[in-house]
């Protein structure tokens, strides 16, 4: 069978997306192109009357401003998005998981508190910017002198940042920083944690206690240790004791229902919303059906499609929480003289995107079609299974940091331009939206989703491939970003509030 030069993203769509240039007069699947259709642009696959919804991703992305015939180019000249959100069309069913999918297990670490880990790191966490250099020195020394003696430890990871002092001890800024750091200190992929402060900072170590990991969770201040070099020496003694405990951990079979994966996209291109994101959505559906958790985030990038996500909420309370997050963002950006309701940029339009809803649907696609079971604030601990939403900015390092603080033990990150990213202690998979990117940056990309656009793979088939790689990675297979060493510099807590 000849490969079709377009993709139909969902049953019920009345437009397809061209994967290559379609010449006027050419006939595909019984439909004759009435004009040239460029790659990434929409072609009508049925007649669409004036004022009727244009449906893509199984959802209305706007209404026609002229009568559209099958084979017409559908874009800004005959499609617009009304200020009021269009009513959500019926949600398509999530990808079907088999009984075998639901019974799957991965080889992970079972912690003493019952949680499941995909990696076995030891974290060296800074409470304040002033202790970051010492934390890096401690991690470097531990990786050089202690790690070679423990095959079962994945490494010593410095978690450092630029906050912790010069800020109010109360309010949103401190609350978010504390919640984020607390999430990392208890992260399941850290078998042990050593937290280092300076001693006089606003963000005191006493806020974090020493409970949660038994003898494998310690902390001290540099000033109490007698200076930087002595702090490194003191840390080595503690870390040898922690490593002796953590190094005994062994991988055991664990249900894939205990995988919690954060969904990210960055450096997007015209194919992100039609290849990598929908394919990741299929994998998210399969994981959710098996009892696992997928965290959709980036609130500023789902704006315009939030009512469609809302329509999938399992309760009025979940829908209300999502509305509250959107309302907060509208007030937040207005305070800074900005707006969330931006039309697609000229570059987006050249790539085929017409409306803000269409653009947002591409981002939402990575969440699949499962019901929305819960909504969380930034870095809040995620406890609900299925598809959940966490309120974060669209900036990828900040967003992923919140997801990991909330408990994500894996990250899946789609990109069309080639974002390089890792997020230790959570292994991070990179999914390229086009094959040219995969070919040019294969050492950074784990899966090529561009084969969907070429017709060599289906969205469902590629989603299944991603799902299998998620299970393998949870079991210990190294991602490309892990092999290179990404993840030490990508810890970026959301910075809210005044710098004093």
24-41: per-residue pLDDT in tens? 999 888 899 999 999 889
The secondary structure of residue 441, as a DSSP letter, is S
Share of the chain above pLDDT 90, in %: 72
Q: What is the pLDDT of residues 419-461, one digit of tens each?
A: 899 999 999 999 999 999 999 999 999 999 999 998 899 999 9
Q: Is the dihedral of CA 420, 402, 223, 158 positive or negative?
A: negative
Q: 127, 161 in Cβ contact below 8 A?
A: no
Q: Which of 215, 231, 248 is the last residue of a domain?
A: 248
Confidence of residue 100 (pLDDT cuts 50, 70, 90): very high
Kindly tell me if the per-residue pLDDT of 211 is higher than 80: no
Higher pLDDT among residues 334 and 270, named by residue: 334
The answer to whether position 495 is within a domain reads no
Q: Are residues 127 and 275 in the same domain?
A: no
Contacts of 47 (CB under 8 A, 6+ apart): 67, 68, 69, 70
CA distances from 304 to 85, 228, 298, 358, 361 (A): 7, 50, 13, 8, 8
The secondary structure of residue 292, as a DSSP letter, is -
Taking residue 118's Cβ as centre, other Cβ atoms within 10 Å add up to 28
Residue 238: what pLDDT?
Answer: 96
The answer to whether position 269 is within a domain reads yes
Q: Are residues 139 and 67 in the same domain?
A: no
Q: Rounded mean pLDDT of the chain?
A: 91
Q: What is the pLDDT of residues 105-141, one digit of tens each?
A: 999 999 999 999 999 999 999 999 999 999 999 999 9
Lookup result for tokens 């015939």? 69
Q: Are residues 240 and 318 in the same domain?
A: no
Q: 447, 429 in Cβ contact below 8 A?
A: yes
Q: Are residues 228 and 260 in the same domain?
A: no
How many Å apart are CA 152 and CA 150, to the nearest integer? 5
Q: Are residues 242 and 263 in the same domain?
A: no
Share of the chain above pLDDT 70, in %: 95
Confidence of residue 180 (pLDDT cuts 50, 70, 90): very high
CATH of the domain at 22: 2.30.130.110
Q: Quick check: pTM over 0.75?
A: yes
The answer to whether position 406 is within a domain reads yes
Q: Are residues 359 and 416 in the same domain?
A: yes
Kindly tell me if the per-residue pLDDT of 389 is higher than 70: yes
The answer to whether position 99 is within a domain reads no
The answer to whether position 348 is within a domain reads yes
Kindly tell me if the per-residue pLDDT of 213 is higher than 60: no
Residue 356: what pLDDT?
Answer: 78
Residue 87: what pLDDT?
Answer: 63
Residue 348: what pLDDT?
Answer: 72
Kindly tell me if the per-residue pLDDT of 264 is higher than 60: yes
Give the residue numbers spanning the domain of 70. Answer: 6-80
Q: 274, 17 in Cβ contact below 8 A?
A: yes
Q: Is the dihedral of CA 186, 188, 192, 194 positive or negative?
A: negative
Residue 352: what pLDDT?
Answer: 83
Mean of the pLDDT values across residues 165-194? 94
Query: Any idea which of 242-246, 335-339, 405-409 has the lowest mean pLDDT?
Result: 335-339
Kindly tell me if the per-residue pLDDT of 234 is higher than 70: yes
Taking residue 214's Cβ as centre, other Cβ atoms within 10 Å add up to 11
Contacts of 59 (CB under 8 A, 6+ apart): 88, 89, 305, 308, 357, 361
Q: Are residues 242 and 197 in the same domain?
A: yes
Kindly tell me if the per-residue pLDDT of 104 is higher than 60: yes
Q: Are residues 298 and 321 in the same domain?
A: yes
The answer to whether position 95 is within a domain reads no
Q: Are residues 465 and 366 in the same domain?
A: yes
Residue 88: what pLDDT?
Answer: 60
Q: Are residues 317 and 243 in the same domain?
A: no
The answer to whether position 335 is within a domain reads yes
Kindly tell me if the per-residue pLDDT of 361 is higher than 50: yes
CATH of the domain at 149: 3.40.50
Number of domains in the chain: 3
Q: Are residues 415 and 460 in the same domain?
A: yes
Q: Are residues 381 and 281 in the same domain?
A: yes
Kindly tell me if the per-residue pLDDT of 194 is higher than 90: yes
């Amino acid at each position: 069978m000849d490969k079709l030069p377009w993709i139909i993203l969902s049953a019920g769509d009345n437009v397809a997306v061209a994967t290559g240039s379609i010449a006027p007069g050419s006939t595909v699947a019984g439909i004759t192109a009435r004009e040239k259709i460029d790659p990434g642009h929409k072609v009508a696959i049925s007649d669409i009357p004036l004022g009727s919804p244009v449906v893509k991703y199984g959802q209305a992305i706007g209404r026609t401003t002229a009568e559209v015939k099958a084979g017409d180019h559908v874009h800004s000249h005959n499609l617009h998005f009304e200020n009021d959100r269009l009513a959500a069309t019926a949600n398509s069913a999530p990808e079907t998981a088999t009984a075998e999918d639901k019974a799957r297990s991965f080889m992970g670490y079972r912690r003493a508190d019952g949680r499941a880990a995909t990696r076995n790191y030891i974290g060296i966490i800074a409470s304040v910017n002033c202790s970051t250099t010492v934390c890096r020195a401690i991690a470097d020394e531990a990786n050089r002198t202690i790690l070679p003696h423990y095959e079962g430890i994945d490494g010593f990871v410095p978690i450092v940042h630029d906050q912790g002092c010069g800020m109010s001890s109360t309010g949103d800024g401190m609350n978010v920083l504390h919640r984020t750091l607390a999430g990392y200190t208890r992260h399941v992929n850290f078998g042990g944690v050593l937290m280092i402060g300076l001693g006089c900072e606003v963000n005191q170590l006493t806020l974090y206690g020493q409970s949660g990991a038994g003898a494998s969770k310690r902390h001290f201040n540099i000033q109490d240790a007698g200076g930087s070099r002595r702090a490194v020496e003191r840390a080595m003694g503690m870390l040898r004791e922690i490593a002796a405990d953590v190094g005994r951990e062994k991988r055991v079979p664990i249900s894939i229902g205990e995988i919690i994966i954060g969904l990210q996209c960055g450096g997007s291109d015209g194919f992100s919303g039609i290849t990598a994101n929908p394919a990741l959505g299929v994998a998210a559906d399969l994981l959710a059906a098996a009892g696992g958790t997928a965290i959709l985030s980036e609130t500023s990038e789902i704006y315009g499609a939030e009512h469609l996500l809302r329509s999938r909420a399992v309760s009025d309370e979940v829908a209300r929480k999502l509305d509250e997050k959107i309302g907060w963002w509208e007030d937040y950006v207005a305070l800074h003289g900005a707006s969330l309701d931006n039309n697609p940029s000229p570059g987006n339009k050249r790539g085929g995107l017409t409306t803000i809803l269409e653009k947002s649907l591409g981002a939402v696609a990575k969440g699949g079609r499962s019901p929305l079971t819960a909504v969380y604030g930034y870095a809040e601990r995620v406890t609900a299974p299925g598809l959940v939403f966490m309120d974060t900015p669209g900036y990828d390092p900040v967003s992923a940091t919140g997801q990991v603080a909330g408990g994500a033990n894996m990250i899946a990150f789609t990109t069309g331009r080639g974002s390089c990213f890792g997020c230790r202690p959570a292994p991070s998979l990179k999914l390229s939206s086009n094959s040219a990117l995969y070919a040019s940056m294969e050492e950074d990309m784990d899966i090529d989703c561009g084969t969907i656009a070429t017709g060599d793979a289906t969205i469902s088939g590629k989603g299944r491939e991603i799902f299998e790689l998620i299970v393998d990675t949870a079991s210990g297979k190294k991602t490309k970003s892990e092999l290179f060493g990404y993840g030490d510099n990508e810890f970026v807590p959301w910075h809210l509030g005044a710098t004093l």
